[in-house]
């Protein structure tokens, strides 16, 4: 058995080697991609997902995928009546709405083709395309 300082040195060296191995295991490589932008104007896509968010208010986001693979969100207040924005859109997409009856929104929207208009908006975080409210329509 070695001296206490030699044991401490070996232990410290083992710790350093373990740290290095751990660091190597967590190294991450990513490929730099080109900047993609959604130009202002009319687009077509497919609704691929629905997301409910609570902040700042309760909203339902429709995630729309464009033919080039880019995705854009279209948010609506999550109130479902025949007169609400969400209700009117559900009716446009063929939903049968009856007061007091549940409606499976995934069945109404997900997988459906759509057309919509976008306009870019400048913010402190950059320029982002936004779906023009009222422009989302079903397509075959």
Domain CATH code at residue 45: 2.40.50
Give domain status of residue 109, yes or no.
yes
SS3 at position 89: helix
- Looking at the structure of the chain, the number of domains it has is 1
CA 116-60-127 angle, to 5 degrees, is 55
Give domain status of residue 10, yes or no.
no
Give domain status of residue 106, yes or no.
yes
Q: pLDDT tens for the chain, 140 residues: list them.
A: 556 666 677 787 888 787 777 666 667 788 998 878 899 999 999 999 999 999 889 999 999 999 999 999 999 999 999 999 999 999 999 999 999 999 999 999 999 999 999 999 988 888 889 999 999 999 97
Find the domain containing 94 and state its range. Answer: 41-139
Give domain status of residue 48, yes or no.
yes
Give domain status of residue 31, yes or no.
no
Give domain status of residue 102, yes or no.
yes
Give domain status of residue 5, yes or no.
no
């Amino acid at each position: 058995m070695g001296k206490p300082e030699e044991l401490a040195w070996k232990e410290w060296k083992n710790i350093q080697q373990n740290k290095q191995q751990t660091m190597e295991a967590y190294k991450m490589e990513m490929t730099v991609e080109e900047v993609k932008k959604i130009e202002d104007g009319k687009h077509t896509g497919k609704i691929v997902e629905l997301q409910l968010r609570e902040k700042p208010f309760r909203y339902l986001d429709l995630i729309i995928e464009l033919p080039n693979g880019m995705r854009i969100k279209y948010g609506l207040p999550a109130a479902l009546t025949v007169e609400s924005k969400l209700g009117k859109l559900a009716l446009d997409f063929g939903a049968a709405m009856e007061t007091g009856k549940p409606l499976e929104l995934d069945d109404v929207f997900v997988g459906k083709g759509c057309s919509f208009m976008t306009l870019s908006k400048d913010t402190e975080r950059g320029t982002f395309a936004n779906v023009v409210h009222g422009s989302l329509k079903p397509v075959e």
